[in-house]
A and B are shown apart, each in its own frame.
Chain A
Amino acid sequence: MKVSELAKLIEAENLTPGLTDRDVACGYSCDLLSWVMAHGEENMAWVTVQTNMNVIAVALLSEMACVILPENVKMESESLIRANTEDMTVLASPLSSYEICGRMHAAGIPDRA
């Protein structure tokens, strides 16, 4: 599944339109950045309520597919600028983390690639 298809699945708005439409290999939900550093994988779709610049840094270091903000959480403009500059797509969904993960799992996205 592409990030653009995932966005439709979880009713998300793409906050960084025009970036690379990567393949999503797996999904994850966690708000502790160091924990995500230990478990992040390439092409992962990561759900988090954290919005600071380090979210983008962690997503980039693990070469993830996208960052997903649940429940219409707003991301700082500095973080979105960095995401745009570094080609990391950020999606904002009105759904809860639980519902987002449920839909991703039902659509066949595993928790590990």
Chain B
Amino acid sequence: MIIHREYPVQAGDYITAGEASADIKRNLKQLGVSGKVLKCVSVASYEVELNLVIHSLGGVLMLDVDSDRVVLESKDIGPGIPDIDLAMREGYSTANEEARNQGFGAGMGLPNMKRNADTFSIASSPAGTCITMGFNLKEQ
């Protein structure tokens, strides 16, 4: 393991939203990650961070980097996603009016994450949602 970072993310906090993703990008740049992998991790981390802000009751975003892989993991404390297949569909969103006024709620978050990650898994219950994304470094 090269680095491990944890970022608590507050529900509804649009002011600091994106700070965890910006720090993740800084850390990866310092480790020499660049190009397509850096952009893919950046997009996915921003989407998952904003999902925590918009949809969860709060949670934590974790970054783990080793020699050949970047792993992003998001864990929240609920309320869970009732229908994951529906949530994975482009254009489907349950974002509230506040989020939509800020320009979110296009229904692109989860599909964007899956598209950018090399591996993607999601599990959800009313107790919380866990999303794990892996990015290969060796293809650089």
Which residues of A does B touch, CB under 8 Å? 31-35, 37-38, 48, 50, 52-55, 57-58, 60-63, 78
Using Cβ atoms and an 8 Å threshold, which residues of chain B touch A50?
A: 102-103
- CB closest chain-B residue, reference A78: B15
Instruction: Count contacts on B: residues with CB < 8 A to the other chain.
Output: 24
CB B25 to nearest CB in A, in angstroms, measures 7
**B18 adjacent to A54 (CB under 8 Å):** yes
CB B76 to nearest CB in A, in angstroms, measures 18
Closest 7 CB pairs of A and B: A57-B18, A34-B108, A32-B106, A34-B106, A33-B103, A50-B103, A61-B42
Instruction: Report the number of A-B residue pairs with Cβ-Cβ less than 8 Å.
Output: 66
Which residues of B does A touch, CB under 8 Å? 14-15, 17-18, 21-22, 25, 39, 42-43, 46-47, 50, 102-109, 111-112, 115
Could you show 24 A-B contacts with beta carbons less than 8 Å apart? Answer: A32-B106, A33-B102, A34-B47, A34-B104, A34-B106, A34-B109, A35-B108, A37-B47, A38-B108, A38-B112, A38-B115, A48-B103, A50-B102, A50-B103, A52-B14, A53-B14, A53-B18, A54-B17, A54-B102, A54-B103, A61-B42, A61-B43, A62-B39, A78-B15
| Among A54, A58, A63, residue most surrounded by chain B Cβ atoms (within 10 Å) | A54
- CB closest chain-B residue, reference A51: B103
